[in-house]
């Protein structure tokens, strides 16, 4: 992280990816309490389905993806996850046609344990376009405290009694219509 050195400018924090200032995204300081936590156990299907359409003054869900984590790397104070977008359930306006493409998701290292993303595992990720940054043709997503991250069970797990209702709910997100407010 690097503080904005310009006098008279409101202090901001930069999340750096790479060594160039052109690869930084201005974000609000994210403390440990601001880490997104992977949603685990006892998630009501209704809560997940409601979240897809969330649009309040403090939180708006613009994108909903099923992703697979392809790789993980540490970089200074950030963790970088290279993911492939498997399904787009809801597409925002910032990242055009992400389906099947690789994207970078960034978070602070102190959020790693709470987030608990594992390579070769799939996840449901929902978030705001305000956390998507574009540098040339590279899209970077910052996982913030309002980002929903939930493990997506494997096809084999979906056949079990434990995961079957979850998989049905997650797959039911395709074509979900949200009412305009």
What pLDDT, in 10s, does the model give residues 124-173? 999 999 889 998 888 999 998 889 999 999 999 999 999 999 999 999 89
- Within a domain: residue 14? no
Quick one: which of 81, 84, 68 has its CA closest to 155? 68
- Within a domain: residue 73? yes
Structural domains counted in the chain: 1
- Within a domain: residue 17? no
The token pair at 63 is: 């994108």
Full domain range(s) for residue 68? 35-171
Whether the full predicted model's pTM is greater than 0.85, yes or no, is no
Higher pLDDT, 73 or 41: 73
Which range is least confidently modeled, 28-42, 64-78, 166-180? Answer: 28-42
- Within a domain: residue 12? no
Phi, psi of 60 (to 5 degrees): -135, 125
CATH of the domain at 63: 2.40.50.120
The token pair at 93 is: 């306006």
Average pLDDT of every residue of the chain: 81
* Buried-exposed string 116-127: b where 16+ CB fall within 10 A, e elsewhere: ebeeeebbbbbb
Phi, psi of 77 (to 5 degrees): -100, 5
- Within a domain: residue 113? yes
- Within a domain: residue 59? yes
- Within a domain: residue 4? no
- Within a domain: residue 49? yes
Q: How many of the other CB atoms lie within 10 Å of CB of 89?
A: 18
pLDDT of residue 33 exceeding 70? no
């Amino acid at each position: 992280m690097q503080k904005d050195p310009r006098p008279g400018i409101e202090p901001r924090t930069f999340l750096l990816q790479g060594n160039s200032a052109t690869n930084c995204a201005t974000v609000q300081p994210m403390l440990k309490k601001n880490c997104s936590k992977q949603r685990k156990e006892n998630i009501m299907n209704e809560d997940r389905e409601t979240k897809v359409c969330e649009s309040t003054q403090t939180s708006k869900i613009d994108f909903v993806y099923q992703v697979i984590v392809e790789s993980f790397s540490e970089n200074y104070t950030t963790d970088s996850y290279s993911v492939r977008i498997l399904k787009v359930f809801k597409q925002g306006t910032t990242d055009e046609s992400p389906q099947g493409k690789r994207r970078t998701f960034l978070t602070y290292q102190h959020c790693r344990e709470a987030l608990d993303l594992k390579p070769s595992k799939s996840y449901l990720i929902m978030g705001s376009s305000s956390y998507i940054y574009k540098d040339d043709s590279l899209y970077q997503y910052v996982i913030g405290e309002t980002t929903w991250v939930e493990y997506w069970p494997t096809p084999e797990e979906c056949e079990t009694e434990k995961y079957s209702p979850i998989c049905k709910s997650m797959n039911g997100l395709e074509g979900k219509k949200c009412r305009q407010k």
